[in-house]
Amino acid sequence: MAEQPIPESAHALVAAREAARAARDFTSADALREQLRDAGFLVTDTPDGPVLAPAPPYRVDDRAVGDGSALGVGARVSVAVLVNSWVADADECVRALLALERADVHIVLVDVGDRDGSGSWAQSLADAQPERVSVVHLPQSADHWARIHSDLIGRCSSDYYCVIDPSTVVTGDAVSRLCDAVAIQHDVIAAGWRGADVDTADAWRSVTGADGEVDVVLSYLMVVRTDAARAASPDPKARFYRNADIEWCLALRQWHLQQTGQPARLVALGDSLPARQGRHHGYHDSDPDYRDRESRKTYDRILQRFRGRSEILKPR
């Protein structure tokens, strides 16, 4: 069936919204966006101007903050899955979590831009298992790693917040074990599958993989105490995930030292954790210029903020 043309009345609302935005009358602009939604249309702001399209059968939030509702109510841990384009990977990742993790593990799917049908897939899964799965739909313009996670952390009502890459597939109760690793000792604020230590001999310019007590844990699969994550959230300048997890962990360590006077502990369970990794699309299949540029920016911030602060690292 041919797609119905967008009526002139909708285009007129877009024009009125653009005029309101130009006048910095954002209250009116937001009201006009709502009128478009009520009429069944979604407007997306792009560098080339607004794009108008029929609205999908679910609400798309304007920004990463979403509707502000609490996530993971009654759950021990909220697991954030940023779907992006790789729906097949996300589906395998999420179905393994549902099958193998405890019932108090709540999954939050983040659909950014409905890439390759990710929005409909995520919504159908949340509709089928609302007690285990929530979904947040965001426009393509909200594709920003740190802001998404910071906003979800702000809405998280669980004791723990978990980041998992869709390339990671649990083969047992891996998330629950990471929560247990944090819960056992009060000075452990984060636990992960893979970890690394800062190479101080290399003037902090690199990290080396490590297990056990580590300087940082990596976002293939990591669990953070929600209170700590909320107090020291990811740096808002980190658009891309790479190196952002390292920066975040160092910020968590710095916060803990300032709060308690004692170094924090982070642990990586390594190969003892029941998990495996498929193709890491987020690295291998991202635009290499964007990936390398944003990764470099983040590591430059790490050096500016933390280099030489050996007191925040694990004991050497």
pTM comes to 0.85
Bin 233: left if φ > 0, else alpha if -120 < ψ < 50, else beta: beta
Is 43 inside a domain boundary? yes
Query: Number of folded domains in the chain?
Result: 2
Residue 115: what pLDDT? 85
Residue 1: what pLDDT? 40
Residue 150: what pLDDT? 96
Q: Are residues 118 and 226 in the same domain?
A: yes
The enclosing domain of 114 has a CATH number of 3.90.550.10
Is 63 inside a domain boundary? no
Q: Are residues 243 and 114 in the same domain?
A: yes
Q: Are residues 90 and 149 in the same domain?
A: yes
Q: Where are the alpha helices (DSSP H) in 60-117?
A: 87-100
Is 209 inside a domain boundary? yes
Is 62 inside a domain boundary? no
Residue 4: what pLDDT? 62
Residue 26: what pLDDT? 86
Is 69 inside a domain boundary? no
List of the chain residues with pLDDT < 50: 1-2, 64-66
Q: Are residues 103 and 42 in the same domain?
A: no
Residue 6: what pLDDT? 84
Is 115 inside a domain boundary? yes
What are the pLDDT digits (tens) for 113-128? 888 889 999 999 999 9
DSSP 53: E
Q: Are residues 124 and 28 in the same domain?
A: no
Q: Are residues 144 and 261 in the same domain?
A: yes
Spatial distance between the Cα atoms of 206 and 92, rounded to a whole number of angstroms: 32
Q: Are residues 97 and 20 in the same domain?
A: no
What are the pLDDT digits (tens) for 238-285? 999 999 999 999 999 999 999 999 989 999 999 999 999 999 998 899
Residue 62: what pLDDT? 58
Please choose, from the candidates 105, 163, 114, the residue with its C-alpha nearest in 3D space to the C-alpha of residue 138. 114
Q: Are residues 117 and 247 in the same domain?
A: yes
Could you tell me the two tokens for 132?
A: 């285990």
Q: Are residues 36 and 109 in the same domain?
A: no
Q: How far is CA 83 from CA 63, 115, 176, 203, in A?
A: 16, 9, 21, 35
Bin 70: left if φ > 0, else alpha if -120 < ψ < 50, else beta: beta
Q: What's CA 285's distance to the chain center, in Å?
A: 18
Q: Are residues 21 and 125 in the same domain?
A: no
Q: Are residues 294 and 179 in the same domain?
A: yes
Residue 47: what pLDDT? 77
Is 192 inside a domain boundary? yes
Is 3 inside a domain boundary? no
Q: Which domain holds residue 37?
A: 8-54
Strands 160-164 and 77-82: parallel
Could you tell me the two tokens for 31?
A: 């009201």
Beta sheet of 188-192, edge-to-edge order: 133-138, 105-112, 77-82, 160-164, 221-225, 188-192, 265-268, 212-214
Q: Would you tell me how many other CB atoms lie within 10 Å of the CB of residue 71?
A: 21
Q: Are residues 149 and 24 in the same domain?
A: no
